[in-house]
Amino acid sequence: MDIATIIGLITGVALLLWAIMSKSDIAPFIDYGSVAIVGGGSLSAALISFPIHNLLGVAKVVKNCFFAKPRDPRDLISEMVKYAEIARRDGILALENATGSIKDPFLVSGIQMAVDGTDPDLIETIMMNDLEAVEARHAEGKGLFDNIGKFAPAFGMIGTLIGLVIMLKNMNDPSKIGPGMAVALLTTLYGALLANLVALPMAEKLGRRSRQESLLKMIVIKGGMAIQSGDNPRIVEQKLKTFLPNRVRESGTAAAKAA
């Protein structure tokens, strides 16, 4: 998981614990029934919202997305330029030997198709479709977190309503009104925390991560097309660098010159 997510979660939880414990003990804030209503309710809603195989696939996507460190695009461009040089010097078939050392399966499959003599338009269609499929899977992952961010507060409110009804039916003993209401409010608190400290911020980060990965795949696709059409490595570099933001591009150029 990336460092900011961990820091954010720890900071958030620590702050709330400190805020609670500076004025009270932690015990009144723990109620397993309330956890069950908010967590279980959100899970139920997710089960109804998503076809079950999507739900399982999503867990995997989310894990990859948070734990896999995204590659530096300048690095990737240098690599693509290297392959362009090989293809230019020794012919495109020479790339087949290089594929053994490439780690990115997306890049390998693109080179493999080019070596096999697949029609360039078909290669582009297939790779663009792969990119779209990856983006769709990421969108599903983001959708799951958005879903929890929407349903957790709703089940928080449902739990509070249940607690209030129980409390209101038993108002004979006034001394129990306060504690009863305190417990009723816990589900709303849990729902708000689950949504605002976990689900919604994670959905935002997932969306940003997905755009980063799409950029990398775009560079592979456009680079592969340029290599196959026999472009000069210099032109390949210039074309791919247009995918980088301004400042990054300049330092990237420097790095490429140094290389």
| Residues 220 to 259 in contact with a second copy, rule: CB under 8 A | 238-239, 241-246
Nearer to a second copy, 66 or 86 (CB): 66
Count how many Cα atoms sit within 13 Å of the Cα of residue 213 in the half-sphere of its side chain: 25
DSSP 149-182: HHHHHHHHHHHHHHHHHHHHHTTTSGGGHHHHHH
By CB under 8 A, the residues from 75 to 104 that bind a second copy are none
Which stretch, 73-81, 83-91, 205-213, 224-232, contacts a second copy (CB under 8 A)? 205-213
Residue 257, both tokens: 């010159």
Q: Report 12-51 residues binding a second copy (CB under 8 A).
A: 12, 15-16, 18-20, 22-24, 28-29, 33, 36-37, 40-41, 43-51
* DSSP conformation class of 197: I
216 binding a second copy? (CB under 8 A)? no
Measure CA of the first residue to CA of the last residue in the chain; give whole Å: 32
**Angle of helix 73-90 relative to helix 246-258, nearest 10 degrees?**
50
201 binds a second copy (CB under 8 A): yes
Count of residues binding a second copy (CB under 8 A)?
94
Rounded distance, CA 111 to CA 79, Å?
13
Contact call for residue 68 and a second copy (CB under 8 A): no
Q: What is the Cα–Cα distance from 148 to 195, expressed in whole angstroms?
A: 7
Q: Are 193 and 148 in contact (CB under 8 A)?
A: no
* Residues 110-139 within binding reach of a second copy (CB under 8 A): 122, 125-126, 129-130, 133-134, 136-137
**Options 4-12, 77-85, 93-101, 224-232: segment touching a second copy (CB under 8 A):** 4-12
Site string for a second copy, 154-173 (x = CB under 8 A): xx-xxx-xx-xxx-xxxx--
Among 195, 219, 220, 225, binds a second copy (CB under 8 A): 195
Instruction: Provide, rounded to whole angstroms, the least separation between the CB of residue 84 and a second copy.
Output: 16
Report how far residue 144's alpha carbon sits from residue 141's, in angstroms, rounded to the nearest whole number. Answer: 5
Residues with Cβ < 8 Å from 45, sequence gap 6 or more? 147, 151, 154, 155
Minimum Å gap between C-beta 57 and a second copy is 9
Among 7, 68, 93, 254, contact with a second copy (rule: CB under 8 A): 7
